[in-house]
Structure 1
Amino acid sequence: MTIGFRSRAVVPTCVLCVAGLLALAPAGTAAHPGTDPDAPGPRPATPQPALLYRLGTQVRPHPRTPGLPPVSALSWVVADARTGEVLAAHDAHRKLPPASTLKTLFALTVLPVLPGGVRHTVDAEELSDLGPGSSLVGVAEGRTYRVTDLWNGVFLNSGNDAVHVLARLSGGWRATAQRMQAKARALGARDTHVLSPDGYDTPGQVSSAYDLAVFGRAGLHHRDFARYCATAVAEFPGGGGWSYDIHNTNRLLTGADGVEPYPGLIGIKNGYTSNAGHTLVAAARRSGRTLVVTVMNPQEGGRHTVYEEARSLLDWGFDAAGRVDPVGSLDALRARPRPAPEAVPVVATATPDTRSAWAAKGGIAGAAVLGAGVVTLVLGLVGIRLRRR
């Protein structure tokens, strides 16, 4: 009787034995600690937004911090542009009509998709839906403008006519409003509801001092936005090859109409409608520190009160630097992308305890496979010898 396997089956069986051992070897040898370089680290702690949702004035001063100035605006915010920390606020999330300060969100949305050197000849349809009493820079049908000319018209003269043309170039009025809404949500500006991209009074269109501060701060990080909002005077094309000067209507920047210009002012945007009253987003830099201030609808004084109240809040913010604890953050509501789950080998993520368990299991399995291979080899040799007999 012949017992065993044919001799040529021995080699493949042994090859399988060795392959099995090699496959199991890393499980037994990977005992050193490792770190996943792409694993998300701990998020930095940020102030919670709850305090800013409270009614009234919110501030957390240290001892001997200067007191807040009297401000009559319905809503206001003082924030650090670099860190996003809100130093003080009053009814920060109160929903109010923003007037032309909403053009900051329009610029954040449309500037990246329209190169400044593009030339466009305006047609009548682009100017047909301007609201009565709209602020205008003088865009005319049949006249050709560079996109950069139109942006000067938006930032300096608050021209609704320029906004209408730029909105048409970037996909249309309604599509632009929808994209502005999406941009606001992505920035964490949840109080803003966009219906008219130029900020024209429209029932249901609102923003807040908090949201406008978010837009102003984001604009400072955009090179073209920062350049336009800081421009005091620019030339705007007229007919027949001539041009005329347009002046920024932000008096805190230009010092026009008897308003003293604020030292270190960067911009950003002012606005007015009969429903919104006077609104302003302003930013200034002093001693390496940049502040953003929003003032919405002062209830006392005249048409220049919005600038004077912004001035007093900027002065307070610079004087209180390092002497107040933040009451919130302009980043608190910003959308954060969730890290995608990663397929990581079991060995790379094993803890020290599980590594030792895998090492033991790997050794047992390897010994079992090796023993099976030896038995197979012996049986094969025995079969050969029996056949030879």
Structure 2
Amino acid sequence: MPFTQRLIVALVLATATAAFAAPTGTAQQAAGSAQCANRETPPPPVDTSEQPAPGQKAPTPLEVPDKPVGGDRLGECGLILPPNSAQPPSGITAASWLLADMDSGAVIAAYDPHGRQRPASVIKVLLAMVVAKELRGDLVVTASAEDTQQECTCVGLKDGGQYTVRQLLQGLLLTSGNDVAHTLARQLGGVPNALRKMNAMAKELGALDTRAVTPSGLDAPGTSTSAYDVGLIFRGAMKYEEFAQTIKLQQAQFPGRNGGTIMLTNDNRLLANYQGAIGGKTGFTDDSQHTYVGAAERNGRRLVVVLLRGQVQPTHITAQAAKLLDYGFAMGPGGVGKLVDGAPQPKPNVVPTQSNDDKQDDVAAVDSRTGRPTPTAFGTVGLPITAVAGIGLLAGVFLYIRNKRAKAARARRQAAQAAQGV
């Protein structure tokens, strides 16, 4: 092939490669993300609890952040460990789990920490956090008939019965009362308002995988959380004294339906049988399976453990949590990510100062949602157009040269014919 043609072909290939390199890279990233089965939504439900009501649509999945909250490695789907670490204990059945330092926020180890799962009753930690922030512990609340008719587990509230917020928090966190969750939600302005406050709190913390759709954790369309988020929420809740004092109680007296008092016993088994346990919360629904979040302290070091979508056979979920806590306490201070101290903040838009000579140049701004530079017109729409125009120009040059060569060949043939006397 003549040099001129080889040059044109090389230029065409280079232009086409530049035009389509970015879309190809994006497709590869999307394909990698697709390998994480629960990156956008929890697994399909096993019952009808998440079917939308007639005439309603299920909420759209929560947006997946461009960068995993807490660090790039936390976006991985499988086992995430620091270099040269021992393998975690056997018998952990959870589909997602996380171990983190409560004080430094360092994530010690994890398995699919941003995989989206259902919280079940561990979402009550988020409700309790909002209650501890907004309501006084000695505030007296009157239960309603609607409170007493919630799908149980229930403490056993009495229609018209009066309870302090502190007593209701004990019923919420020790025995996971769904009737109590509804009562507290009403006191926060009603269930829809309580859910708005819960979700606003989650977003403020940086728990961007979480959407509370019921105050109790019962499954409903759109419910979502992750092991990372549950650890983040528990860490935030423990900063409220009312919550921290309640979650560590092994027992508490509660007003009985027929007068007198009943004894509430904490369903977190680790409080009684794990050295240094300082509180935790269990949960279960058919769709979520078994969930757990809890914390313990040893030698001045506090760890939080989260397990989502676990099983209780052959080992109870709290016993699995104990094994992971032992594993975490034996590990060094290194980590694979961090529990953030608040939601990632968008960077302000930045527009460079332009002189009169460069007003036509593309201006790079910063996207207020992702904090990344927004593509310029050339980088998004202009690049493909420019590439097509370049290919067209090169094609025109190629045709011009070919026509010129053809004319020269015809001239040579005519000259040869004249020389032969034709």
TM-score (norm 1): 0.68
Shift in Å, 1:47: 9.3
Does the 8 Å CA contact 1:66/1:319 hold for their aligned counterparts?
Answer: no
Match of 2:254 among 236, 242, 248: 236
Is the 1:80–1:291 Cα contact (8 Å) retained in structure 2? Answer: yes
- Aligned with 2:89: secondary structure? coil
Instruction: Map residues 201-220 of structure 1 onto 2, 5 A cutoff.
Output: 201-220=219-238
RMSD: 2.3
Amino acid at match of 1:53: G
Q: Which residue of 2 aligns with 1:16?
A: none
CA drift of 1:161 comes to: 0.4
Mapped to 2, the partners of 1:76 and 1:122 lie a distance apart of: 36
* Residue 281 (str. 1) matches residue 302 (str. 2): no
Residue of structure 2 equivalent to 1:166: 184
Contact conserved, 2:251 with 2:263, CA < 8 A, in 1? yes
Asked if residue 59 in structure 1 is aligned to residue 81 in structure 2, the reply is yes
Aligned counterpart, 1:69? 89
Aligned length: 282
- The yes-or-no answer on 1:293 pairing with 2:302 is no
Q: Is 282-291 or 217-226 further displaced after alignment?
A: 217-226
Q: Is the 8 A contact 2:205 2:341 kept in 1?
A: no
CA separation of 1:234/1:220 partners in 2, compared to 1, >3 Å: closer, same or farther?
same
Q: Residue 52 of structure 1 contacts residue 92 of structure 1 at CA under 8 Å; is this kept in 2?
A: yes
Q: Specify which of 83, 94, 107 is matched with residue 104 of structure 2.
A: 83
Residues 73 and 113 of structure 1: is their aligned pair in 2 closer, same or farther, counting only changes over 3 Å? Answer: same
Q: Does structure 1 residue 330 correspond to structure 2 residue 343?
A: no
CA offset at residue 219 of structure 1?
Answer: 1.6
Cα distance, 1:274 vs structure 2: 1.4
CA contact (8 A) 1:84 1:329 kept: yes
Counterpart position of 1:271: 283
1:104 to 1:48, Cα distance in 2 relative to 1, 3 A = closer
**In structure 2, do the counterparts of structure 1 residues 336 and 224 end up closer, same or farther at CA, with 3 Å as the change threshold?**
farther
One-letter amino acid of the structure 2 residue matched with residue 67 of structure 1: Q
Q: Cα–Cα, structure 1 residues 300 and 159, in superposed 2: closer, same or farther, change >3 Å?
A: closer
Which residue of 109, 119, 129 corresponds with 2:130?
Answer: 109
Percent of residue pairs identical: 38
Residue in 2 that maps onto 1:366: none
C-alpha distance in 2 between matches for 1:224 and 1:335: 27
Contact 1:137 1:162 in 2 (8 A): yes
| Greater relative contact order (CA < 8 Å, ≥ 6 in sequence) | 1
1:61 counterpart SS class: coil
Structure 2-normalised TM-score? 0.63
Deviation string, structure 1 residues 105-162 (Cα, Å, up to 9, x no partner):
111112211111111222223444x23xx21011110211111111110010100101
Instruction: State yes or no: 1:95 paired with 2:106.
Output: no
CA deviations over 1:45-93 (Å, ceiling 9, x no partner): x99522111110000134xx43311222100000000011101000001
Aligned residues of 1:75 and 1:296 also touching (Cα < 8 A): yes
Report if the CA contact (8 A) 2:148-2:156 is conserved: no
- Aligned match for 1:317, one of 317, 328, 331: 328
| Structure 1: runs of 5 or more not aligned | 1-45, 255-260, 340-389
Secondary structure of the corresponding residue to residue 244 of structure 2: helix
1:333 deviation in Å?
6.3
Deviations 1:348-384 (A, max 9, x none): xxxxxxxxxxxxxxxxxxxxxxxxxxxxxxxxxxxxx
1:86/1:164 CA distance change after superposition, 3 Å: same
Q: Which residue does the alignment assign to 2:240?
A: 222
Structure 2 spans left out of the alignment, 5+ residues: 1-67, 349-422
Q: 1:334 Cα shift?
A: 2.2
SS in 2 for 1:301: coil
Paired with 1:154 and 1:79, the residues of 2 have a C-alpha distance of: 25
